[in-house]
Amino acid sequence: MKHYTIAVVHGDGIGPEVCRAAVRVVEAALGTASPLVFREYDAGAQHYLETGESFPEASFEGCREADAILHGAGGLPGVVHPDGTEAGLDFTLRLRFELDLFANIRPIRLYDGVRSPLRDVKAGDIDYVILRENSEGLYAARGGGALLRGEVAIDPLVQTRHGVERIVRKAFELARQSEGAPRDGVRRVTCCDKANVLRSYAFFRSIFDRVAKDYPDIETEHALIDAMAMHLVMRPSHYNVIVTENMFGDILSDLAAATVGGMGMAPSAEVGAHNGFFQAAHGSAPDIAGKGIANPYGTVLSAASMLDWLGHGHSDERLTDAARRIRAAVETCIRDGLLSADIGGSAGTERITAALCEAVAGVS
C-alpha cells in the first residue's frame, strides 16, 4: 500500500497550535489505516533565536523530498537576519523559489454561520479561487532591484512567456475541476491585470487571450486590478477563478479573506510540477500565540487541499475522500456555531479541533 510522507513545520507564534490541529483532523479523517507518515522539521524565527539558523539544510531536504509540506506560520516581529531580512520569511521564500511553486491557489468561501462584513451576502454567494502567480511578477527579482545613489529605487516587474502561460493554463484547469463553484452554471476565468497602463500586464493579458482559445468551454473576461478590488466587495458572487500577477494576488487575497471572515478563514496551497506546500494565508499572529484561541479553520482547510492535491496526483481516493469529509466537517462545525474569537465566537482552538475530529469520523 502506497504511503506518503508529509513534512510538517510548525513555525512560530500560533503556527504550532494551528498546525497540530490540522494534523489531528487529518488523522481523524484517515483513521487507523492512514497512508500518511508525518515527519517534523524545524524552521522559523524561534528556531533562529535558539540556534542561529532559520532554515537548516536538513529541514530543506526533508521538505524537498516529502510528498507534501504542511506549515503552521512563520516569522516574529523584529527577528531578522543580519542583512535585515525576516528570519521567518526565508522558509516560505526558499521553498517557493527553489521548488518552483509557481501556483498559489487561494480558495475564498463564505461558510454558513460566519458573518461577512458585506451586506446582503449569504453562504454560497462567495465561493471563488484567487490564483496568484507565485514565481515572478513584481516579486521575481527580490533583491534584484536597485537603489541608485541612495536617491532612486527600482524594482523590475518580470513576466516571462513560460511563467504566464503555465499560470494561465492552471487557472483554466482549476475552472474545469470546478475549484470555486461555477457561477450561475458558468465556469469563468477572470484575468486581472493593469493592461491599460503597463506593458508587462498587457503581455500577461495577451498570453491569457491566446491560451483561452484552448478552453472554449470556459467563459473568460478581463478586469483591471483597481476595478477588481471594488468588484470583490460589490459583486463577489460573480467570480469563479481569478488569475493574476504575484503582487496583485497578494493584495487581493487579503481583501478577499476579509469578506469571508478574515485571515483565520483563508487557506492556501502553493504547488509546482512536483511539490506542494500548504499553510493558512495568515501570519504567525504573535499577539494571540499561546492563548489557545487561534482559529484553526484556515490551516485545516489548507490540509484538506493537501489531501486533494495528493489524491488527484496519485489517483488515490482515500485522500480525496478524506478531503471532502474534512470540508463537510468544517461546514458542520461552523454551522453549529463553533466560532473562534476572530470570527465572532468564543470557542478555543482545542474545542474546535476536537469537534472537527468527531465530525470527520461521523461524516460518510
Strands ordered across the beta sheet of 36-40: 36-40, 4-11, 68-73, 276-280, 267-271, 103-109, 127-133, 241-244, 188-193, 219-224
Instruction: Work out whether 264 is an interface residue with ligand ATP (CB under 6 A).
Output: yes
Name every residue whose Cβ is closer than 8 Å to that of residue 49 and which is 6 or more positions away in sequence.
Answer: 76, 79, 87
Task: Say how far apart CA 310 and CA 304 lie, in whole Å.
Answer: 10
Shorter beta-carbon distance to ligand ATP: residue 225 or 294: 294
Instruction: Work out whether 283 is an interface residue with ligand ATP (CB under 6 A).
Output: yes
Q: Which range of residues in 55-63, 199-207, 288-296, 331-339 is near ligand ATP by CB under 6 A?
A: 288-296
Instruction: Work out whether 54 is an interface residue with ligand ATP (CB under 6 A).
Output: no
Numbers of helices and strands, H then E, in the chain: 11, 12
Shorter beta-carbon distance to ligand ATP: residue 217 or 287: 287
Specify the DSSP element, H or E, that contains 5: strand 4-11
Task: Say how far apart CA 102 and CA 313 lie, in whole Å.
Answer: 17
Please tell me the number of Cα atoms within 13 Å of 256 on its side-chain side: 32
Grid cell in block for residue 319 = 485522500
Question: One of 209, 214, 226, 336 is an active-site residue; which one?
Answer: 226
Q: Is 226 a catalytic residue?
A: yes
Q: Output the smallest distance, CB 293 to ligand ATP, in A.
A: 7
Residue 195 is classified by DSSP as T
Q: Output the smallest distance, CB 344 to ligand ATP, in A.
A: 11
Q: Output the smallest distance, CB 188 to ligand ATP, in A.
A: 29
Binding residue for ligand ATP, selected from 163, 180, 298, 311, defined by CB under 6 A: 298
Binding residue for ligand ATP, selected from 269, 288, 319, 322, defined by CB under 6 A: 288
Instruction: Work out whether 263 is an interface residue with ligand ATP (CB under 6 A).
Output: yes
Instruction: Work out whether 236 is an interface residue with ligand ATP (CB under 6 A).
Output: no
Instruction: Work out whether 295 is an interface residue with ligand ATP (CB under 6 A).
Output: yes
Q: Sign (positive/negative) of CA torsion 52, 58, 59, 64? A: positive
Q: Is 250 a catalytic residue?
A: yes
Q: Is 83 a catalytic residue?
A: no
Q: Sign (positive/negative) of CA torsion 283, 286, 290, 293? A: negative
Q: Which range of residues in 27-35, 37-45, 184-192, 277-285 is near ligand ATP by CB under 6 A?
A: 277-285
Residues of this chain that interact with ligand ATP (CB under 6 A) are: 14, 18, 75, 263-264, 282-285, 287-288, 294-295, 298, 340, 342
